Amino acid sequence: MNTRKRSTGNSSSKGKSSNRPSAARSQRSGAASADSSRSSASTSRNTAATNKPLAAKSSTTGNQARSTKAKSSGASKRSGNSYYRKQEPPRQYQVTESEELLPFLLKHLKDGRNAVKSILGRGQVSVDQKVVTKFNLALTPGQTVSISKEGAVAAPSMTGVNILHEDNDIIVIRKEAGLLSIAADRSNDLTAYRQLMEHVRRTNPNNRIFVVHRLDRDTSGVMMFAKSEEVQQKLQNNWKDNVQDRVYVALVEGAVSKEEGTISSWLKETKTLKMYSSPRANDGQHAITHYKRLKSNREFSLLEVRLETGRKNQIRVHMEDLGHPIAGDKKYGARTRDLGRLGLHARVLSFIHPTTDKLMTFETDIPKQFLYPFRADNATAE
């Protein structure tokens, strides 16, 4: 940094002091004239007199150069500081008691309210590595508040992904229907995995995410990713114990007669990658699905579905076995296409946090499209 300043200053000084060599040449020329005219004292005096203005001029030029150098050096310093300011690590403060963000910042920054709000507005404040601008954000003990010298660069928005929770170990998202969880090969398809990988690498290029479980492309809802291989293995190896509840909502074709029920079968996969229930026990992977009817009419039923096991396409296969395929699921026997998407949504995910051992539950709303078939029924009931 200092080297850059000296280099810039010297360069500027050289540029402004180009008259110095000229002054020196004039002095040498005057000295030669004096040697050739030693018999004439007046000539020598004139030469000396001539040299004085030149020396004075050179001195003036040197002062100007030094002044210019100082200005240039100052400009270089400002420019250098501006450059390196972006590289400075943010100041970090640990939250030790519950309070709102603005009072916390006022206490640590010693600035006025307007100045602190400006810092917030410029995106210079992060809480647990996530940029925040809300001055009334509630802080909890254990969180880390970071304040950067420069405003954060706005991160590009993600497509079909909404982050519900993020900490040092996991990311929980709501995935939209139509987005792949992860690509099956090395294709360049847009996926939740790829977007989240880019998201975590904005903070540190070495950061990564790891897949814990998946949702089908056309299934929306809550998903979880791990931020380390260790956390991934801990979650996957203890999935049954860690996951306390997984609740889906399914819009299925036809009126489901039973208010609730359980479907159990052994799932296998065809060569065309379609899952099906084997007619023989112990032939394939055992799958158990519990369902409860929420709404129903002649055309559709809205079911709450709980998974006891998590097999590929399990709900889709079991709804077909029930005789009520999921709306829009042509692969598994559906005839309706009015919905414009698959009628399956992972609504609730409840699990024990792999590091803190705290119970965490994430619940999302039922997609509005799933309720459209029952609008007339609601109007009639009213």
Asked if residues 221 and 346 have their Cβ atoms less than 8 Å apart, the reply is yes
pLDDT at 157 > cutoff 80: no
Per-residue pLDDT at 153: 55
Q: List pLDDT tens digits, range 190-229.
A: 999 999 999 888 878 889 999 999 999 999 999 999 999 9
Give the pLDDT confidence of 29-78 residue by residue, as tens digits. 444 444 444 444 444 444 444 444 433 444 444 444 444 444 444 433 33
* Residue 32 burial class via C-beta count within 10 angstroms: exposed 0-12, middle 13-18, buried 19 and up: exposed
Q: What is the mean pLDDT of residues 277-295?
A: 94
Residue 72 CA: distances (Å) to CA of 19, 66, 69, 282: 18, 9, 5, 82
Reply yes or no on whether the pLDDT at 379 is more than 70: no
**Rounded CA gap, 248 and 263, in Å?**
15
Q: Both tokens of residue 50?
A: 């001539």
Residue from 216, 241, 329, 377 carrying the catalytic annotation: 216
Active site residue 111: no
Of 49-63, 288-302, 324-338, give the lowest mean pLDDT range: 49-63
